[in-house]
Structure 1
Amino acid sequence: MRPIMSHKRVLYGYWRSSATYRVRIALNLKHLAYEQHLIHLLNNGGEQHLPLFSSINPNELVPVLIDGEVTLNQSLAIMDYLDEVYPQFPLIPKDLKSRYLVKALAQDIAVDIHPLNNLRVLQYLADDVGIETEQKQRWIQHWITQGFHALEKNLASTAGAYSVGNSITLVDLCLVPQVYNAERFNVDVSTFPTIDRVVQALRSHPAFIDAAPENQPDAN
């Protein structure tokens, strides 16, 4: 299937941003072509703070998707939009129970786990609070591990081949980037067997491979 590009579609992001990573996977699964505008979150004091990007997203966070006349930030909102406008390869089930189960599990990752190891939180802890690198590592490991303990229990009852049954859903798009973050900070993901099994399966899918941080043009 050829990528769909009926109008200009641009994704502003950073190779290691897990929120951007989620959106890249969604675009790939739906075969939606897009241009990448690279925002380096560390260079020049953080390019997300420069006036050009700040005028697009005053929150100064990635990702931002421009799809024709639509401009959206927040990865969960972007993926919800993509699922509604481009229904091929649905990410959210149609039946009521499964729909909100998937949304809740995705938010367990994107709302509860991810923000506590986000770059601006870590920069504040280091620059303003003055914690050392080793303390910062323990902070990250603590919150990811605590979140994964709960998530593992949930997925043990919902998982089939993937996080919820045998179809890729929004949960999987949040899970793989969060495990990438966990591995960066030396969290032993093998202690969460359901999470580990599902992620290993997803990492063999072409849409996930193409979206992986190390395969992005700004990877360094």
Structure 2
Amino acid sequence: MKTSKPISTISFNTESFLRGKLRELEAAGILEFWAYIKHDPEPDEVGDEAGGKEHFHVYMEPAKMVQTTEVRAAFKEPDPANDKPRGCLLVEKSNFDNWYLYALHDSDYLASKGQSRCFSYDPAQIVTGDKDDLHSKVARIDVGSITPYIRMAQYQRDGKDFRSYVLGEQIGVRDIAAYQKAWQMLMSTGTERNGRPGHANEYTEPEPEARQMQIEDYPEYMPGGGEP
């Protein structure tokens, strides 16, 4: 795929190689911005492509049109312990706001995707070639437009139940199932991927379709407020 849009991948390189390669691509005028963060494997990742090992979520902004297969090939790193070199997964189109919130495992963001994780990360753990650019990008993130469940988190902190949230925020009947899934994930302390396998660029995938609940489950929405 040829693109000049932001791209991202998941790397299994050594950190020294990864950082050196990103700096090399930047010096060559191929990238104008990059950032990455190291993640530990979640409990459900043992045996998947990450192999239960630490890995890096990498975000890149090309300085010109690039071929993603060539970018991926650049990250092949000889591994003395194995015949197969280290490398990264498919390089895909990305978006900084979503990448950043997923990189931190922001609970509200994950809940908006019907997911949760055991581990969370601090912004200081993100490594980048230009901290000023990183801070500028973070400052421009409109969290409310990406994670519409911040109000949901507030309801939970106030000890209110899901019905109170639905009625108070006037959630449409056809959206209740999706919001209910997010409510449950927001309260969870485990790992939930909404049916997805271990590793993928999850922040690039579309949100799951909502299932429609029966209106009888919420009689307040029926004519007459549910009265016969």
TM range (shorter): under 0.3
**Which of the two has greater helix per residue?**
1
TM-score by length of 2: 0.26
**Which of the two has greater strand per residue?**
2
Rg (Cα) greater in structure:
2
TM-score by length of 1: 0.27
